[in-house]
Amino acid sequence: MGILDGIFGKKRDDTGIEEYLDISLEEGDVVSPPPRYYIRRVDLRNEGDADLALKEINSNNVIILNVKPLSNQPNRLKSIIAKLKVNITKIDGDIALLTNDYVLLAPSRVKIVKSKKKAEEGGEGAASSALA
């Protein structure tokens, strides 16, 4: 009497959302194939982290590189960034400074739009050109 059990309030055996939380997004499924690339964050603490960033770039992933951990060692940071720049240029990738703490690394076939700051010409025009 399944119908009457539902009407008279017999508790159903509902499975919670917990069974869906372990879905791996990297595998994909029939409807949604796995993505071609990812945007990943890497904290730059040493040369090993720079090598990890290059490995991810070679896998066509975009990297947001957190350089704050090495900000107290400016010479070491400059040498690692120079190494990254050389290697990214070799594969026709791109590199750009987002903030003082973050650098954006892009693989080949992905270019970062960079704009130079123009002299303040009157408010909105300068701001919109910086966003372009």
Q: What is the pLDDT of residues 39-60, one digit of tens each?
A: 999 999 999 999 999 999 999 9
Tokens of 65: 């590189």
Whole-number pLDDT of residue 131: 30
Q: Which residue ranges in the chain fall short of pLDDT 50?
A: 120-132
pTM exceeds 0.75 for this model: no
Domain 35-111 class in CATH: alpha beta
Quote the CA–CA distance of 69 and 125 in Å, as a whole number.
36
Quote the CA–CA distance of 16 and 88 in Å, as a whole number.
46
**47-58 vs 74-90: helix axis angle to the nearest 10?**
20
Whole-number pLDDT of residue 33: 83
- Token pair 């982290």 is found at 49
Quote the CA–CA distance of 82 and 8 in Å, as a whole number.
72
